[in-house]
Amino acid sequence: MRDRDEPVTLARTDKSVSAVTARGGVRIEPRADLRLFASESTTRESWAHRISLCLREDHCAMNQRTVLTELGPDTQALREADRKHILFDLGIGALQADLCVRIADPQVVAKLRPLCGRALLEPGNPAMGIILAANPPRVFISKIGRIEVYQPIPSANGQSPEGPHTHVLPNLLAHRRTHAATEPVPDGFVPCAHLYPAHPVRDGLGHALPFDATRHASFQDLLKNYGDPEFFDLKQRVAKAIGSGADPSVITVTDKRFARANVRVTLRQLKAANVESPSLKSWMAVHERPGDIEKDEEDEERHRHHPR
């Protein structure tokens, strides 16, 4: 994530493409078995969309270390000046990514080395306090590339900076999920990164915008080409029924996971686009039931768009 006028270093090789700013960077290394998957889901106020960069579950696994581990110099760092600095795996144990910090200060390295082999969050372990005080770059490594975040880590009661930032949320990590429960992903696949194309009703910081039909049409094309064809067909049928003024009973929505959320997204998009239909209100009365909004999606949106 970067501002339009923010300086950026772009690089492309036969194996990767990268972008680096003063606040963070990303390198993507495409693979033949990489699958792009477009999807939408409901949020408290509207809907979210994204493109997941997925690998098969049996191809995506990283090291899944569960204790603080020194990895040596980060020879694959995005910036050449960082490649002699020491990488430590935090031992989060995530399936598809190694979550690390990169330490430049030899004194901080010396403090962390004796703590290797211990779980980061175990009672009495001073490692997290040392890391927070050092404010090192955070490095996330997967089979399809890496993300690096250079901005400061906020204090426990502080506010995260806009743009690239990170969170360590023990309560969320305890669920051991590879992605949000509300995000549809093809069976047998795991998202290793996400792209967030421009949204029709909000900017990159989550602020509301007037409905942008061009942005909406652009993502619907992506959804058609890279999404679930069954759900895309359901969206088309719902929109056509509402456009003709048909009653909600003309389409039976199965109990298949994500099907009802898919319909709610469609209704919200039609409402945002100010589609005139005498039946839209009745469709929303049937499908927009209290309690339908998933807490996981609310958490995802809050952490991504409303930093603490």
Nearest to 169 by CA among 206, 131, 121: 121
Specify the residue for token string 């209100």. Answer: 281
> pTM of the entire structure?
0.86
Q: What is the pLDDT of residue 172?
A: 73
- SS3 call for 280: helix
- 10-residue averages of pLDDT along the chain (308 residues): 93 96 96 96 92 96 97 98 98 94 98 97 95 96 97 79 82 78 90 95 90 97 96 95 93 83 95 92 85 47 39
CA-based radius of gyration for the chain: 22
Q: What is the pLDDT of residue 306?
A: 37
Strands of the chain (E only): list them.
9-12, 17-20, 24-28, 35-42, 47-56, 69-73, 86-89, 98-103, 138-142, 145-149, 189-195
Q: What 3 state SS string does 157-196 have?
A: CCCCCCCCCCCCCHHHHCCCCCCCCCCCCCCCEEEEEEEC
Let me know: does 176 contact 169? Beta carbons within 8 Å: no
Q: How far apart are alpha carbons 277 and 244 in whole angstroms?
A: 8
